[in-house]
Structure 1
Amino acid sequence: MKNTLLLWSAWFLASALWAQSQPKQYVLIEHFTNSRCIICASRNPAFYNLISQYPKDIHHLAVHPPVPYSNCAFYQYNTAHNSKRADVYGINGTPRVALNGVLIPAGNPLLPQATLEAALGKTSPVAIQVKEGGAAPTKTAEVTVRVFGNVPAGSYKLFVAVAESTVNYNAPNGETKHYDVFHAMLTDIDGQDITLPAPGGSVSFNFAYTHVQPNGWTSNFDSLYVLAFIQEAPSKAILNSGTRFDPVFTQVAEAANARAVRWSPNPATDYASAFLPGERIRSVEVFTLSGQRCSAEFTVEADLVRLSIERLPPGAYVARITTDSGPYVGRIMRW
């Protein structure tokens, strides 16, 4: 009887969680900088330090417009695409940052931490999955957009960018490491019109990119990756973004197979632990009962998952553990 109740509890929690939750909305940060800009060199380090604190929540793309110097080596690599992306936001000076399609006022710091944190923990009705293939000098990418909820009315465009994760280059402004350097758009430079299907549907697109070694700096093919995002044209709002590094969001397909997991202590005030012998833990996510994703850290030691809940407001939560064999769900009370 006890096991039956446990199974029914797991089914109820899984059904409620998957029915109400939506994919995580990643924070897309478009960073407009210039390799000859002294102000960029002075403000970028603090900015990079800030976003490095949220590696699982942020997608960063460094665009190099021709201001204040058109002889910036990164701008010269693809003048048309760098200029066009900067023109979307009317960039007339660097450094600047656009967060999820909203241009942040110029200042120091470049991006206030409070502004960034206010954008975290959101959800989106769509998830974007990127698969990459190919061999030097050609990279291929399959971008799949899956819809899990009602998409706000609007005119949407898909952008698929190629970026280089780290470039080692002694720039004239003194910077030596450059992150997520924009190479090119694989879609049209103005984006590709996309009609999003009804909830439960998906649409896929295929792209190819031939890598060309630039002049003045060295590019590494193995450091290239694809960043896809959907932007609402008039408002510039970002619906969501995705890379191959992101975990795949699943919903209905896993709900029926979700198993119960016990958290202890429960209720808890700071930490709760779950024991999953023989499982390989891929991720741990926490949701409110209304389906809102919460920010919570976890550690894994052998078969034990330790979840930090001390920063969560008191209340009831559902925690989902994704393993190689499938998902587990369980309720946690935070005192």
Structure 2
Amino acid sequence: MKRIAIALLCAIPLWAQTPKKYVLIEEFTSATCPPCAPASEALNQIVNPAAGIISVRYHMYWPQPTNDPFYLANPTDNGARRQYYGVTGIPDAYVMGTQNVDPRSANFRTVVQQELQRPVRLAISIEENRQNAPTIAITVRVRNVSGQAMNLAGHVLHVVVLNRKVEIPDLPRRIPNSNGETVFYDAMMKMLPSASGTALSGSLAPGQEQSFQFTYQLGTGELWPAGQDYVTAFVQNTSTREVIDAGTNLEQRLTLVRVQLAAPSPQFAQVPRSQQITRTLTLRNLNDRPYSFRLIVDASASLVPQGWSVSIAPDSVEIPAGQSQQFTLRVSTSAQAEYAHLVIKPQLLSTQPGAILELRDTTVLVGLLSENTRYVAYWGANSWFSSVYWQPGKQLPAIGQDFAPLPLLPEVMEAFPMRQFQLAILPMGTVPLRAADGSLDYIWNDLQQALQAGTRVYVAANAGLYWAFDPNSTNRLPDVQSFFRTTLGIQYTRLQQRFTQSGGNVYLSSFPISGVAGDSIGDGITATANTSTSFYNLYTDIFATTAGSPARAVFYYDNTPSALGGVRVILPSGARVVYTSFGPEAIANGQLRLQILDRIVTWLLGSGGQQAQPRIALSAYSIRFDTTQVGQRSVQTLTISNTGEGTLRIQQIELQGQDASAFNVPDRDVVPIVLDPGQETQLDIEFRPTREGFHSAQMVLRSNDPQEPESIVLLSGIGTVGIDEPVALGIRLLPNPAAEAAALLLPEGHPGAVVELRDLSGRLLQQWRSPAGMQRVELSLGDCAAGVYSVHVRIGQQWVRLPLVVVR
């Protein structure tokens, strides 16, 4: 009886088996369109042929001039698809022809998942013959698997030749208006026989099949890397634009290459100037065959300062199956303060005839800040940061040698908190100081701690008061309102729009900015803003001082002294703040911008006529030790400097906290430590774990610095027992930001994991346990409010923390 059942199963026709459902995403993009870069990256995170999600990317000719290489290679087919969909702006995307959704939107993944649930009506398969290459012959078969007859009149079969991955590392240097992209996925190269497709007709009965033959020529040059071409086909209703179904031969040709890249420890560090430093990274080949790799610095996502050099050795190496290889990162620093933001990723060098080898993107971030950096400016919220803040700041004699740029990223601000610097410049543009969804809490909290510690801060926020007070704002938060009213002593009047619209065009409105006569910053300053389309402000808050305000007016708008646009404040902590609701970028005159920045910096750093005072400066306010085995010792060095004008005396060094006994300062009894102005000393700090797991403590330095009598350094480290390799590294969290759910991808072969979701206060919200070897943990986020959370993963004795942003 069993033998008969097997025979019956084998007799089921192939078309009756459940065919695979493919969801087709058609994206319109360009290498010269700035917002297209993040849209394509978002799409890259979603496209997954194994899960049935595929894409076709059409490249457009705008913004002008027309220099997108993929558009220039085939303007006819790219243009025909643009006209068919009526695309007038990019990025743009269509899911199965009818759903017009931005890949960056929160509901994009939901739309795709809904389409995946729809049944397959037409199974589309593709066979190819490469015997006569570079002429490739293909057969496309369309079979009705719906169970009922289908009328194909009014439908077209589109056949697309694509290249899976094209890398053009020097493209941003070759085209003047590049958006920085260097890697392009699923680019449409040809449509067969043309963009008009093949008209279908007649009725297709259940199980009935039609076949179509095509040929194409492999191209040459950088747009046609060897072995990357494949074919996707889809049937589309010509009037409704609905894509009935799609198919591809990408999966037949695709071989996924899996690796784990372990970050160096520590990932973030302050490094000496004019020296060469090294870091070790480990790459593991998780496949069942050897492959050759190199590690590279991703130029499109990294910042290498001028005067620094970066290299990784060895340049190439074959790693046996299941084995690891160490690579050495060498960085040579310059004499000036700088920050290197290095995104490092593996590059696959091996090829395999007849297959598309695809290395899933895996990266690590290494952040290196010059020692004794005293002044910083933050980039990420202002489009003109380099030309308006960074380059002029380096020209100022008071700060230039010790002035570095830092990105507004949570991990960077955690590693190098604002309070460890004497001066910080925070250009926020139209971004609020704090958001109701919690996504900007890391910036807000860091700013408040810096002001309490006496750091001098210049904040340029065009709409900060609007976001805090305006009835139309969604970010009216009491603590931000208190900051403006009580701390700075200013109150919101209105938000002034600095442009007009007519039809579909936007026209800038120029406006005067005046300095307050006799003020140390504003005296004699007169400027007309928004006179250049290269530098402008679209909005500016107009505000006034409160009764009894500590603020002093610096700038005003529109020739109206009561319409304030800038103030300066000295806080009880000794911190100084300059707050403007315009960015200097609104002023086209570069020399005038430099003069304003120079005056702001000079006032912020001034002592205000007080007696000469000491000022303590630490090379770090947070020290994270390497993973250290129990019974062993790790040592790190803290540099203490006196950047003030009086003699600094450190009277006491104390270790506090539950794990204080795990840390030691050998010279803590050698007090007082006396430093004259400009002098510095070094203090060794030891980590000696007595147990497995995470340790934390505080080191308190008590000195005669009137602005910072107690300097607190956070100490942390992990004690381990005989762990040879960090298997927990390489964990991925997708998507991030997330809405209703996220997936945690764990390394292959892990011995079991504990996953915790915590809020910013550390409160445990949810916990999951993953059995050994299970590589995917689904995190349900439906009950989480919008905000920033932490996902803690424990594998063995290792803990890894990943930030997670929940959006609504």
Deviations 1:117-151 (A, max 9, x none): 11113222221110112244222211111222325
What is the CA–CA distance in structure 1 between the aligned matches of 2:8 and 2:774, rounded to whole Å? 22
Per-residue deviation at 1:82? 0.3
2:190 aligned with 1:164: no
What is the CA–CA distance in structure 1 between the aligned matches of 2:224 and 2:165, rounded to whole Å? 9
2:228 aligned with 1:223: yes
Would you say the 8 A contact 1:62–1:181 is kept in 2?
yes
Q: Which has the larger radius of gyration?
A: 2
Structure 2 CA distance for partners of 1:46 and 1:105, relative to 1, 3 Å: closer
What is the CA–CA distance in structure 1 between the aligned matches of 2:15 and 2:141, rounded to whole Å? 20
> Partner letter of residue 182 of structure 1?
M
What is the CA–CA distance in structure 2 between the aligned matches of 1:107 and 1:208, rounded to whole Å? 33
Would you say the 8 A contact 1:96–1:110 is kept in 2?
no
> Partner letter of residue 224 of structure 1?
D
Give the match's secondary structure for 2:54.
strand
Match runs of 1:1-335 below 5 Å: 4=1, 22-52=18-48, 55-69=50-64, 70-106=66-102, 108-109=104-105, 112-134=108-130, 135-149=132-146, 150-153=148-151, 154-170=153-169, 171=171, 172-195=178-201, 197-213=204-220, 217-246=222-251
> Partner letter of residue 112 of structure 2?
L
Residue aligning to 1:288:
none
What is the CA–CA distance in structure 2 between the aligned matches of 1:138 and 1:13, rounded to whole Å? 37
What is the CA–CA distance in structure 2 between the aligned matches of 1:13 and 1:211, rounded to whole Å? 39
What is the CA–CA distance in structure 2 between the aligned matches of 1:46 and 1:106, rounded to whole Å? 9
Would you say the 8 A contact 2:126–2:139 is kept in 1?
yes
Using the size of structure 1 for normalisation, the TM-score is: 0.64
What is the CA–CA distance in structure 1 between the aligned matches of 2:68 and 2:86, rounded to whole Å? 19
What is the CA–CA distance in structure 2 between the aligned matches of 1:50 and 1:12, rounded to whole Å? 36
Would you say the 8 A contact 2:159–2:191 is kept in 1?
yes
Using the size of structure 2 for normalisation, the TM-score is: 0.28
What is the CA–CA distance in structure 1 between the aligned matches of 2:164 and 2:106, rounded to whole Å? 20
Residue aligning to 2:643:
none
Per-residue deviation at 1:62? 0.8
Deviations 1:219-245 (A, max 9, x none): 224211111111111111111111224
Give the match's secondary structure for 1:119.
helix
Would you say the 8 A contact 2:39–2:103 is kept in 1?
no
Question: Which structure 2 residue ranges, 5 or more long, are not aligned?
Answer: 172-177, 253-748, 750-772, 779-808
Structure 2 CA distance for partners of 1:237 and 1:14, relative to 1, 3 Å: farther
Deviations 1:291-313 (A, max 9, x none): xxxxxxxxxx9xxxx999x99xx
Give the match's secondary structure for 1:55.
helix
Structure 2 CA distance for partners of 1:111 and 1:74, relative to 1, 3 Å: farther
Would you say the 8 A contact 1:78–1:183 is kept in 2?
yes
Deviations 1:171-212 (A, max 9, x none): 421112110110111123211111353222211111111133
Structure 2 CA distance for partners of 1:125 and 1:110, relative to 1, 3 Å: same
Deviations 1:241-266 (A, max 9, x none): 1122457xxxxxxxxxxxxxxxxxxx
Structure 2 CA distance for partners of 1:107 and 1:161, relative to 1, 3 Å: closer
Would you say the 8 A contact 1:43–1:110 is kept in 2?
no
What is the CA–CA distance in structure 2 between the aligned matches of 1:14 and 1:142, rounded to whole Å? 26
Structure 2 CA distance for partners of 1:169 and 1:112, relative to 1, 3 Å: same
Same amino acid, percent of matched pairs: 28
What is the CA–CA distance in structure 1 between the aligned matches of 2:83 and 2:125, rounded to whole Å? 27
How many residues get paired? 246
Question: Which structure 1 residue ranges, 5 or more long, are not aligned?
Answer: 248-300, 312-335
Per-residue deviation at 1:22? 5.0
Q: Judge which range, 154-163 or 65-74, deviates more.
A: 65-74
Would you say the 8 A contact 1:97–1:110 is kept in 2?
no
Structure 2 CA distance for partners of 1:225 and 1:110, relative to 1, 3 Å: farther
Per-residue deviation at 1:107? 7.1
What is the CA–CA distance in structure 2 between the aligned matches of 1:136 and 1:18, rounded to whole Å? 31
What is the CA–CA distance in structure 1 between the aligned matches of 2:161 and 2:54, rounded to whole Å? 13
> Partner letter of residue 141 of structure 1?
I
Give the match's secondary structure for 1:42.
helix
Per-residue deviation at 1:8? 5.1
Per-residue deviation at 1:106? 4.2
Structure 2 CA distance for partners of 1:198 and 1:151, relative to 1, 3 Å: closer
Deviations 1:29-69 (A, max 9, x none): 111110111111122212211224x6331121111122334
What is the CA–CA distance in structure 1 between the aligned matches of 2:10 and 2:76, rounded to whole Å? 50
Would you say the 8 A contact 2:144–2:150 is kept in 1?
no
